Structure 1
């Protein structure tokens, strides 16, 4: 792989410090030095006028939901087309500047290994495999008439695994063990109803504290953690009491619950981009107009939840939750967050904080010696104009583990 020296860029290192004019030296995939190097620079890359950030991290993706949703769930799309859509979305993530993603449900282990082997373009992927849901809860998308036991027929081993349903704690224990057997690196449980649901409401709670605790126990036995899909406070508090380490969405999070999360060290990953997309055009994701009614008011409440979490001192990551075919503008999540915080806070959430939440803080998330060389060079300064994050064309060069994976210079 050799040595690469990137010179002339304004470097926003992911820690929150102001950008610095500093050269970055990369050797065999790792950052070895910041500042001018007296040694042989090897390949020299002139990045004058560009802004460098760490490779972005999306902590809430659904690569396995890259086809139109309703047709996919009703067996109208072939395995070949589903695979093509998944791999196209993986490549689009790189092109948008995302070098690491956490898949929070929908892919099976074969997708992770295929990308890791370099057979298709894509980011580094951490995956929960199939989502864990209670019978008929969020994560179950079968028809009303369809017997529960037929749902697993929607899985395509090695490619697509939507969710596993449990009726009690023993069934959940068996299902999470199966998820780990199939390559999951963490677990995700649905503990409230959801927006894209047919059988519940956002105010519903799902799984008991005792049931969630079983998944936490199984995750701890493997040195990993549980995150939960949760919109309402009762569901969040159940999960925190059971030992979950992260909450996805958190739409109706209030101040007391946020304080509890902060006290217990539980992180929050808000998801604004999917809300904007579903409000704008549900059909774009392959969903019906009824979804628009379910998402009304979510953006405003999630904004209030973000403020409550910040006030309480919760670690707040960043996730897009995009679903369906239109997942090319993943950086829109940073643009939306920059409207609610500062652009620098959005960048830190998408780099340093997300790396911490994913358990990768010793490898990625900041530009520093000893870290993997995941780098993005932006046309212009997205910290001054955060709309630049939303357009993949502005990520003119993307480096993943020292390899140039996109170059529009």
Structure 2
């Protein structure tokens, strides 16, 4: 395989230090071979990339995506499309996520292991994936998409959650997802915005039910992530041993310290609330959905501030649906309002790699790691909104292979 040499670059390696100017980096057989500053080494057989005026950095990681949420009205999505159309649309989301510079992503409910395998085998373009299959929800829980007026059984689609109640049912549902080759489990531990029949400031599932999911995941050496907004639901999850708290919009200082003491991660997902709140009416978001999105947005930034002040491990996710899928990169500039630009970028690279237990492979530009690299026009440390225009993502390298090149 021909060597790839990137030179004349500002290199932001996301290890925690400041960016370096006039840097160069060499990729060989899909791995980072050398990184340096100043005079560029010469090689007999090399593909060169002049990075003048651009920033070389690790590929972005989105730790909370939903391949399956491709429509704006999630309450009726499963009623409108043939099953095959769900997969076709999900593949479109997968490809577009990579095109935004995300070389790795963690699906937080919906995608089965087949998507992961398809990307690994090069059958479809997309970020490296970890998946949790079907989310677990209680009757009337966040992913039970029935309206409160309905008395029928939950509708089934290729990506529907599993409705399970009681320890025995929850354990069986968890075991079934693990049998199907998932990387982690997802449980709905509180109310949400997209479901019509519950509210965000609630708890869902008992400590016994949540603990049973953690038990099954731990037995398979895997982790559990939980959908939560309320402080009560987050504390319940922490007590049950859940690893990763998703969203956490109502997080206060006391609960942030509690989560820190329990070793939990927090993965805020700001983009979905800001984008959908601002554009929801024109996109046809149902009124109940839009109302709740606006409510939880009010405290979203303050929750991130509480987490940062408490020293919580903070990941980065977008959680966007429908038309919002094309705007995942807003997450960095939104987090930068609270965390600062450098920390916001690192949360979407090094920290997400740690969260996903992939830190030995990706997340930073270091010798011996896989060559997941993006080249961004200008200096995103001074202009984090640069990520939001995908035309600024000039080059995407994934495991040493060029996935996008508009230099």
TM-score, scaled relative to structure 2: 0.95
Larger mean Cα displacement after TM superposition, 53-62 or 320-329: 320-329
Q: Distance in 2 between matches of 1:3 and 1:137?
A: 52
Q: In structure 1, list runs of 5 or more residues that go unmatched.
A: none
In structure 2, the CA distance between the partners of 1:148 and 1:4, relative to structure 1 (3 Å rule), is farther
Which residue of the partner structure matches residue 19 of structure 1? 19
Paired residue secondary structure (2:137): strand
Larger mean Cα displacement after TM superposition, 287-296 or 305-314: 287-296
Which residue of the partner structure matches residue 203 of structure 1? 201
In structure 2, the CA distance between the partners of 1:395 and 1:189, relative to structure 1 (3 Å rule), is same
Which residue of the partner structure matches residue 255 of structure 1? 253
Which residue of the partner structure matches residue 357 of structure 1? 355
1:265 deviation in Å? 1.5
Which residue of the partner structure matches residue 98 of structure 1? 102
Q: Deviations over 1:157-197 (max 9, x none)?
A: xxxx2311111011000001111122210011111111212
1:137 aligned to which of 134, 137, 141 = 141
In structure 2, the CA distance between the partners of 1:198 and 1:359, relative to structure 1 (3 Å rule), is same
In structure 2, the CA distance between the partners of 1:71 and 1:205, relative to structure 1 (3 Å rule), is closer
Q: Distance in 1 between matches of 2:300 and 2:378?
A: 30
8 Å CA contact 2:71–2:77 kept in 1: the answer is: no
Which residue of the partner structure matches residue 188 of structure 1? 186
Q: Deviations over 1:200-224 (max 9, x none)?
A: 1112110111111111111111111
1:354 deviation in Å? 0.6
8 Å CA contact 1:73–1:142 kept in 2: the answer is: no
Which residue of the partner structure matches residue 396 of structure 2? 398
Q: Distance in 1 between matches of 2:347 and 2:250?
A: 20
Q: Distance in 2 between matches of 1:205 and 1:166?
A: 15
Q: Distance in 2 between matches of 1:189 and 1:72?
A: 22
Which residue of the partner structure matches residue 237 of structure 2? 239
8 Å CA contact 2:144–2:154 kept in 1: the answer is: no
Q: Distance in 2 between matches of 1:81 and 1:325?
A: 17
Q: In structure 2, list runs of 5 or more residues that go unmatched.
A: none
In structure 2, the CA distance between the partners of 1:286 and 1:123, relative to structure 1 (3 Å rule), is farther
In structure 2, the CA distance between the partners of 1:4 and 1:306, relative to structure 1 (3 Å rule), is same
Which residue of the partner structure matches residue 32 of structure 1? 33
8 Å CA contact 1:109–1:129 kept in 2: the answer is: yes
Q: Distance in 2 between matches of 1:304 and 1:297?
A: 13
Q: Distance in 2 between matches of 1:78 and 1:173?
A: 30
Which residue of the partner structure matches residue 321 of structure 1? 319
Q: Distance in 2 between matches of 1:317 and 1:53?
A: 18
In structure 2, the CA distance between the partners of 1:77 and 1:145, relative to structure 1 (3 Å rule), is same
Q: Distance in 1 between matches of 2:94 and 2:164?
A: 30
Q: Deviations over 1:335-381 (max 9, x none)?
A: 11122221111110000001101111111100001111000000111
Q: Distance in 2 between matches of 1:7 and 1:23?
A: 4
8 Å CA contact 1:61–1:104 kept in 2: the answer is: yes
Paired residue secondary structure (2:347): helix
In structure 2, the CA distance between the partners of 1:88 and 1:232, relative to structure 1 (3 Å rule), is same
1:51 aligns with 2:49: no
1:69 aligns with 2:73: yes
1:88 aligned to which of 67, 87, 92 = 92
1:109 aligns with 2:113: yes
1:269-280 alignment runs, 5 A limit: 269-280=267-278
Which residue of the partner structure matches residue 7 of structure 1? 7
1:176 aligned to which of 148, 169, 174 = 174
8 Å CA contact 2:13–2:365 kept in 1: the answer is: yes
Q: Distance in 1 between matches of 2:53 and 2:150?
A: 58
In structure 2, the CA distance between the partners of 1:37 and 1:285, relative to structure 1 (3 Å rule), is farther
Q: Deviations over 1:143-162 (max 9, x none)?
A: 445556443x22x2xxxx23
8 Å CA contact 1:29–1:401 kept in 2: the answer is: yes
8 Å CA contact 2:332–2:341 kept in 1: the answer is: yes
8 Å CA contact 1:103–1:126 kept in 2: the answer is: yes
